[in-house]
Structure 1
């Protein structure tokens, strides 16, 4: 701020007074604003009222002269839908609206929050559905040691239940300490440092990708257990399921929640019915176990095999952290609703996991390659009737949709990394439907590749699974131990004990999984974590380099040695400048222009320099060295200059305005607030509206653009300048030039 004020003083020394620049403007930059809700009168049978983006106009048969070109007859776009991006074909825009629905304003974010009844199935689907493969994964390891190995199923399951309760209580403390969302990345970064935070994020990202792949593969296995003829198409079915999840989540949080609530509740009902029916049947036998077929041990029973079974069974805990990551997605009071939902989720998870293990113990069922354990239990309790079909359908549906937990949390974690400059900044932007669309697309692609690479086999994916999630668990809970030790508020000793217990148990599972499953595929997850750390640190280093280059420095600003004064624009015959005279007041209404003058001005027929009347427009986002260079270039032309800033909300607009005033307000500034987070469309609409106001002017749009020396880093920077250049090319009498800033 001190440097900005200093640079402003240097500008004052060499630039004309701000009033001189404002009087030189040949246009009125204030084109109005959207009408208030009280001014909007919907049609008799509709909800949409078409109004001009630049001033209230009644819906009439003829479009407003201030409306941007390309809008529908009867007026420009409605205020509840984003203006069509002018650099995209209309067919593409209509297809997006058909698939995703109308764009939502940023003020709709509160309406996209989830209540507890929706949040429970949306955020708990991963954890609850894991009982469909977690117990089976544990038994598949124990059965290698024969009957003696199966005897350890109850003690191992009891240990896993205790671990579930400990981790659940630990994450309740995390939600209390971080009421705005305390995912493993935030907690570890705040309390343990940069690299532990990135390692926790790497574990989470790996876990979310595998969550999608494993959930889809287990869901397809449930389908093929009931319909064996579909077994040969398991990869195709899984890929189609991922595409459906992609489309649903791009529509936004609330829509995805409504879609995914019913299957999760149906699965819980089916599992509770299965457990009750199985226990009633076991009670009829006085809880005597049914002998299982004779088993031949293929491995010796030892501590290593028991630990492998424990690590495999612990995959039933994946997804417990999802609620602490998504606290801001709850309706107020967010943290209280999140803790309540977490308690319900852990309670249901314990009941379902323990119930399935008990049924397997009493029924004598063993894992089989042709049919899942749940399918065998359902056949035993319900036969092949409607309840069996319902159980299998609910299991398949919730497993196919359990990946939605990852679709909620993966983009959120990626956006936090982008906010901290550890990932490309495009992942921090929300899409039309208030979802992090770029992160959702990346997750779909990554999960689809993993699923296809492993041929959709759940058994092959499980060994990769535990490392990432328990790495995140361990670092998050260790971070909470440090948090309570530093804070030492009320009940801090109890909270520290809970989190220390959770951290210790998670570390045991992590080490166990890393050692026992290393050769089975855990090494892939470890390599992925290492690569993630390398990539994110390189991205951060690049952004730090660019930030240092762009940072304002008083002596780095080159200023001319003479005073810069804008030359007045001579208006065409019969038209005065914007100076308050009657003629200029008529100028503000484009309908006052004579049609012949409008037509002549639109022909771009200037053939000599004297006929060209200039106005320089400088779209600018931040007052850094690149922006200052663009402002200096525009002012040095000694033509009228208008600076345009597009803000995504009132807070951002106020913050930029304060910085602009601190700099000195040397040039005329017009702020545009874009409620749909779009930048290109509002700028083009505004520039076109200025052209309608003065068709005789040649508008020169001067864009600051960062040019990186190494092309591999170009994807890390905004493509706003090339997109705006492409969007403005079709407009008459608009010249686009870029002021490159090389880094």
Structure 2
């Protein structure tokens, strides 16, 4: 905590810390804007009192302490949530806040209680911190998606080949060998990505930095399509595992799947992320079940003791073997690689040394994936198992052949269903994160940056659930019908990510760059081959849906970017567009400000506010960055002739120093308090600060004045955060807190 009287330690233009990135909380001001800022400061100097007058007029001490440093934040044993340490010794009044949340009508209160029962109480004074994982926990948590795909990818490949009869099934092993080689090549490629991007390098980041904005958006669209279909396909496969064990549930496939998606939605909206060990159990159970199945089945098959597989339902070939058929089968089987980039995205989540642990974990994941996939293909070949018309999956047939219908069969099916549903839940974590990264770069609505009441990216979670549920229902919850949609998004992201790495190594040309470039070029080439295969061979079977979704997402991202660019241009500091306060603040003490809770006749301050002169004010103006809207809000607050405190919440000390530098360039005309918040939330620390001010002076009426962008078209309003409404909900349990907005029309 500090104000601008602290030396900013920089050059005259306030940019001593180097140019910030395009997504920085405090963007850089160019020379023209800095000149306007200095001119504005001189104009303020003409119409406003001396800055020291404003500081002496403050009825509170704005320095309320500080939040802990990032390394001091420790989550609870089973969650990744921590309480926001109270500034000024405050404790959140949870009971009063909950009472204030109740709607006025009986029906509204009933709906409110149902929502709280399902989603939990709001965590206003709580924030999310990163959880560092060791390799034994990171492996199952980050590999659930890719490992679970072996439960349906072999069957998807066989479903294509079987239409050509025995001649088609003869290609099972060669195609599987090509897929295994592809797995190996892509895994090695992502090891290079981890080395080059030790702070996390998802397809959106890698493609955007090395290939340009449009390829980055295409990669992000492919990723989001992948995550949507991960939910649909994983839920479909999980339900199939259940209906294979209980055939009577087959008619309820769609309702069961929609119910699972609803449960995943409610669970993720609650926002509580359980510790990694809880997520690890289903993955390790599935690995154990698959190894038990493969080893037992191979031993039985090689010793001749394996029961005979049921006869193939397609004795006659429906079509001949052709290039198109082989390509379709290859694309379907290659979906076993979905989720392979998860570890490269999550490098910062590992314990030190992060990149080394991530590479080791990726290697283990690749070995497990290749072993399980190859083992299941070998078992399928030896037993002659093919997709049948008995509503049983191939995996269920193999488990029945090896274990009968005993407890081991139940264990295999239960572990399969559990990991498939866990893989769907992984998408609920990753999809909102990609959307938040895009929103940070102005390629998606900023509402996707918002953490909800339970500190989850609620808007992204809801969007994912709705789209996945629609696709799941539209395709009847059939896994093989959804697979053609799957490969396009997956390998589009793979291709662009690996192509971006080729450009990265070519530009960098550091030690061993040729070897690294060769690995990534191989991965890019093979991924592009699968992408083209899936797009061409399966276009009429449903791949067009994925292509359409990708194109639509890219178009929407460009339109959103255009809107934000227009708004930023309107908010840009420029001459002859600045409003100034026309009146100076009253001299300190002229308002007769008394001590907290005191009044001349002995009544408390809350009881003695019948006349305007008996209300004592403090205006708090949260300022995110220096622009026209912020300057208008400051001018409005100063014109009220009441004490004013500007408040800036910064995610890092570097951003805070940059803002202090700009504030100094303006002239430091109003008191400024800078709060560095290491939490992954903004509203909770802001609420906490206002609560601390109220605790310090309960007699004051604190008015929080917020700049608000007002758009001409109502749908553009959806692209802007409604901070005022969120603050009203969070602070209405406190008396004498007023939230007001200063509109800026664009």
State if a TM-score over 0.5 links the two structures: yes
Q: Equivalent residue for 1:312?
A: 332
The C-alpha deviation readout for 1:400-423, integer Å capped at 9, x for no partner, is: 222133223212211111111101
Contact 1:107 1:675 in 2 (8 A): no
1-side partners of 2:194 and 2:84: how far apart? 44
- Counterparts of 1:277 and 1:726 in 2: how far apart (Å)? 59
- Kept in 2, the 8 Å contact 1:203–1:529? The answer is yes
* SS of structure 2 residue aligned to 1:556: coil
Of the three residues 282, 286, 292, the one matched with 1:273 is 292
Q: Using the alignment, how far apart are the partners of 1:252 and 1:689 within structure 2?
A: 26
Matched, 1:171 2:190: yes
Aligned to 1:664: 667
Q: 1:487 to 1:145 in 2, by over 3 A?
A: same
For 1:528, the equivalent position in structure 2 comes to 549
Asked whether 1:453 is paired with 2:474, we answer: yes
Query: What's the secondary structure of 2:709's corresponding residue?
Result: strand
Partner of 1:255, secondary structure, is coil
Matched, 1:374 2:377: no
Gaps of at least 5 residues in structure 1 are 37-48, 57-65, 74-82, 577-586
* SS across alignment from 1:704: strand
> What's the CA shift for 1:650?
5.3
- Asked if 1:617 is matched to 2:655, the reply is no
SS of 2:604's partner is helix
Q: Does the CA contact (< 8 Å) of 1:106 and 1:677 recur in 2? A: no
In structure 2, what is the Cα distance between the partners aligned to 1:67 and 1:706?
33
Go from structure 1 to structure 2 and tell me whether the alpha carbon gap of 1:345 and 1:253 turns closer, same or farther (over 3 Å shift): farther
Q: Tell me the secondary structure at the aligned position of residue 645 of structure 1.
A: strand
1:413 & 1:657 partners in 2: Cα distance? Answer: 31
Q: CA deviation at 1:332?
A: 2.4
* Residues 27/348 of structure 1: CA separation in 2 closer, same or farther (3 Å cut): closer
Correspondence 1:702 to 2:705 = yes
Within-5 A mapping of 1:667-678? 667-672=670-675
Q: Which residue of the partner structure matches residue 564 of structure 2? A: 543
State the distance in 2 between where 1:298 and 1:308 align: 15
The 1-side partners of 2:730 and 2:641 are apart by 27
Instruction: State whether residues 84 and 685 of structure 2, in contact with CA within 8 Å, keep that contact through their aligned partners in structure 1.
Output: no
Q: Quote how far apart the aligned CAs of 1:737 are.
A: 3.9
Q: After superposition, give the CA deviation of every residue in 1:196-251 in whole Å (9 maximum; x if it has no partner).
A: 11111111100111011101101111111111011122222222322333344456
Please say which structure displays the higher CA radius of gyration. 1
* 1:358 aligns with one of 367, 375, 378: 378
- In structure 2, distance between residues paired with 1:454 and 1:221: 14
- Cα separation, 2, equivalents of 1:105 and 1:631: 27
Kindly tell me the number of residue pairs found equivalent between the two proteins.
Answer: 694
User: Would the aligned equivalents of 1:35 and 1:55 in 2 still touch at CA under 8 Å?
Assistant: no
Q: Answer yes or no: is the 8 Å Cα contact 2:140–2:284 preserved in 1.
A: yes
Match of 2:43 in 1: 10
Paired position in structure 1 for 2:607: 602
**1:707 deviation in Å?**
0.4
Q: Is 1:243 the equivalent of 2:255?
A: no
Q: What's the secondary structure of 1:541's corresponding residue?
A: helix
Partner of 1:77: none
The 5 A counterparts of 1:25-174 are 25-30=58-63, 53-56=86-89, 70=93, 99=119, 103=123, 109-110=129-130, 112-174=131-193
CA gap 1:363/1:696 in 2 versus in 1, 3 angstroms: closer
User: 1:360–1:31: structure 2 CA closer, same or farther, 3 Å change rule?
Assistant: closer
SS across alignment from 2:335: helix
Please give the alpha-carbon distance, in whole angstroms, between the structure 2 residues aligned to 1:695 and 1:433: 28
CA RMSD, 1 decimal: 3.5
1:700-739 matched pairs, under 5 angstroms = 700-724=703-727, 736-739=739-742
User: Which of 397, 410, 418 is 1:397 aligned to?
Assistant: 418
Is 1:388 the equivalent of 2:409?
yes
SS of residue in 1 equivalent to 2:318: coil
Secondary structure in 2 aligned to 1:642? strand
Q: Which position in structure 2 is the counterpart of 1:343?
A: 363
Query: Cα–Cα, structure 1 residues 647 and 187, in superposed 2: closer, same or farther, change >3 Å?
Result: closer
Q: Are 1:300 and 2:332 matched, yes or no?
A: no
Partner Cα distance (2:406, 2:438) in 1:
50
Q: How has the CA–CA distance of structure 1 residues 256 and 249 changed in structure 2, closer, same or farther, with 3 Å as cutoff?
A: farther
1:614 CA displacement: 4.7
1:682 CA drift (Å): 5.5
Aligned-pair CA distance for 1:394: 1.1
Question: Structure 1 pair 595/265, CA: closer, same or farther in 2 (3 Å)?
Answer: farther
From the superposition, tell whether residues 693 and 490 of structure 1 become closer, same or farther in structure 2 (CA, over 3 Å): closer
Tell me by how many angstroms 1:119 deviates.
Answer: 1.6
Alignment of 1:255 onto 2:258: no
